[in-house]
Amino acid sequence: MVMQQLSGWGRTAWTVADVVHSTDPGQIAHTLQTVGERGAIARGLGRSYGAAAQNAGGVVLELTSEHDPLGIDAILDPITGTLDVASSVSLDSILRMCVPRGWFVPVTPGTRFVTVGGAIASDVHGKNHHFDGSFGQHVSSLTLMLSSGEIVELSPHSRPDWFWATVGGMGLTGVILRATISMLPIESSKVRVETERLPHFDAVCEAMSTEGDDGDYRYSVCWVDLLATGSSMGRGVLTRGDHAKRSDVSDDEPLAYDPRLRISAPGWVPNGLLNKWSIKAFNEAWFRKAPSKRHVGMESIPAFFHPLDGVNKWNRLYGSQGFIQYQFIVPLNRTDVLRKVIETFSAAGVASFLAVLKRMGPQNPAPMSFPTEGWTLTLDIAAGIKGLAELLSRVDAMVLDAGGRHYLAKDSHVSPSAVRRGYPRLEEWMNVQHQMDISGMWRSDLARRLGLIDSRRNS
């Protein structure tokens, strides 16, 4: 038994749990037999921002295999690009293994340090959501251990309700052990990227809305400067692109891939280092750095997809009080709400370094999957800001009134009623969850706060 303090990537709301590290199904099943009334939850690399992968006073099953001496537990079919992989394997390991062979992950979040288990449980999305959908749509089957210890095979064709309840199910249906993923063929490890500076928010929405435009690019995302005011309010830098063709790159080794970490954030950082002024200066520089005319260039996979991974443990830059990430989505026709939210944060003097806007495509069948057709805005906010709880609850109401919702993998503050409004299929999901977890074993701090597990099981 190793009692350990855990938090999410935002380093807020620490709680203590009994952390059991194992990727061996036999051992996990054995551990499940000892779980008490505080229950258990799976944890991957802890890249969700809030409390999704922690379980105060209970058991946390840590499924990671970064340092596995046996190497990466994954088999790639070089003809079809089908990857059979253990849930504990990270996208980082998969990319190192597969990019040189001409295959890319079908969906990657903004960091490659997530496990396959975490990617399925959060049903993560990437810059290609409008084009390819979210991670779960590329999973052809998965192996799940139920709380009873029984192992089941799920796919969109066999037991689709259990499959889709697990995709986006935040670990609350069982422990994902393995998955089969359809990889994306690539001809090079470069990305052809078009970068464009957009002077204000209308221009941003306009550029990302035009069907024949954004729709043509596999990847598209816009960085927005939340601190710009007046006529440049909501100005941004739009980047769009796709994997470069073999003929686009001159390299001898078109598939070479080297994602080495560059620098580490210092272990101790004063609170308030990232404040309104430092962020304003950063934003200005970032905006100016982007070319004023549309510019086409080649970027590496790490530079385009995972720029933050270049700084190890960058989450410490927010100091001891940590930070939260606020990510919500509103329907396509509600750009007025996006604008109102940006204005509200800006008026409250809340600085966010790297606010990101993305247009999402249609929803998949998973009841708790976050993406729906619409706009999603993501911002980082220092957790210690005065009055933050009140401010966020006002913004939450704007989002929910517009028919929007919040992303659970990022959430660290919404109320139980906010999830019920945002996820109208919650009840349906809870029924399936109940069938899958008869003993009521799975629970996380997130699930406790939001009442995602049934109130009968109230500990």
Ligand X SMILES: Cc1cc2nc3c(=O)[nH]c(=O)nc-3n(C[C@H](O)[C@H](O)[C@H](O)COP(=O)(O)OP(=O)(O)OC[C@H]3O[C@@H](n4cnc5c(N)ncnc54)[C@H](O)[C@@H]3O)c2cc1C
Query: Which residues in 162-201 contact another protein (CB under 8 A)?
Result: none
Q: Does 87 bind ligand X (CB under 6 A)?
A: yes
Q: Does 380 bind another protein (CB under 8 A)?
A: no
Structure tokens at 372: 């729906």
Structure tokens at 3: 């009692």
CB 71 within 8 A of CB 99: no
285 interface partner picked from another protein, ligand X, none, CB below 5 to 8 A per type = none
Q: Which of 308, 347, 397, 438 lies at the binding interface for ligand X (CB under 6 A)?
A: 308
Q: Which of 122, 364, 372, 412 lies at the binding interface for ligand X (CB under 6 A)?
A: 122
- Which residues have CB under 8 Å from 192's CB, separation 6+? 241, 242, 243, 244, 248, 296, 297, 298
Distance in angstroms (rounded) separating the CA atoms of residues 449 and 373: 27
Tell the smallest beta-carbon distance from residue 50 to another protein (Å).
5
- The upper half-sphere exposure of residue 394, i.e. CA atoms within 13 Å in the direction of its Cβ, equals 12
Q: Which of 175, 183, 191, 228 lies at the binding interface for ligand X (CB under 6 A)?
A: 175
CB atoms closer than 10 angstroms to residue 425:
12
Q: Does 421 bind another protein (CB under 8 A)?
A: no
Q: Which of 388, 428, 430, 431 lies at the binding interface for another protein (CB under 8 A)?
A: 388
CB 182 within 8 A of CB 140: yes
Q: Does 413 bind another protein (CB under 8 A)?
A: yes
How many residues touch another protein (CB under 8 A)?
39
Q: At what angle do helices 388-401 and 335-347 cross, to 10 degrees?
A: 170
Pairing of strands 311-312, 219-224: unpaired
SS3 call for 395: helix
Q: Which of 80, 158, 393, 435 lies at the binding interface for another protein (CB under 8 A)?
A: 393
CB 254 within 8 A of CB 407: no
Q: Which of 88, 59, 45 is nearest to 147 (CA)?
A: 59
How many residues touch ligand X (CB under 6 A)?
33
Q: What is the largest CA-CA distance in the chain?
A: 63
Distance in angstroms (rounded) separating the CA atoms of residues 259 and 251: 17
Which runs of E-coded beta strand occur in 216-331?
Answer: 219-224, 236-243, 263-264, 295-300, 311-312, 323-330
Q: Which of 50, 53, 44 is nearest to 112 (CA)?
A: 44
110 interface partner picked from ligand X, another protein, none, CB below 5 to 8 A per type = ligand X
Q: Does 138 bind ligand X (CB under 6 A)?
A: no
Q: Does 118 bind ligand X (CB under 6 A)?
A: yes
Q: Which of 16, 256, 303, 311 lies at the binding interface for another protein (CB under 8 A)?
A: 16
Looking at beta carbons only, is 350 or 356 nearer to ligand X? 356
Query: Which residues in 408-437 contact ligand X (CB under 6 A)?
Result: 409
Tell the smallest beta-carbon distance from residue 383 to another protein (Å).
6
Q: Does 302 bind ligand X (CB under 6 A)?
A: no
Q: Which of 85, 98, 238, 324 lies at the binding interface for another protein (CB under 8 A)?
A: 324
Q: Which of 110, 113, 109 is nearest to 88 (CA)?
A: 113
Distance in angstroms (rounded) separating the CA atoms of residues 394 and 340: 11
- Which residues have CB under 8 Å from 18's CB, separation 6+? 1, 2, 3, 4, 58, 59, 60
Q: Which of 99, 124, 146, 167 lies at the binding interface for ligand X (CB under 6 A)?
A: 124
* Span of 49-57, 179-187, 239-247, 327-335 interacting with another protein by CB under 8 A: 49-57
Q: Which of 39, 58, 81, 110 lies at the binding interface for ligand X (CB under 6 A)?
A: 110
Looking at beta carbons only, is 366 or 383 nearer to another protein? 383
* Span of 35-43, 97-105, 185-193, 265-273 interacting with ligand X by CB under 6 A: 35-43
* Span of 26-34, 67-75, 213-221, 319-327 interacting with another protein by CB under 8 A: 319-327
Q: Does 14 bind another protein (CB under 8 A)?
A: yes
Contacts with another protein by CB under 8 A lie at 3, 5, 8, 10, 12-17, 38, 49-51, 55-58, 320-322, 324, 383-384, 388-390, 392-393, 412-413, 415-417, 445, 448-449, 458-459
Contacts with ligand X by CB under 6 A lie at 9, 41-48, 52-53, 63, 87, 109-111, 114-115, 117-119, 121-122, 124-126, 170-171, 175-176, 308, 409, 444
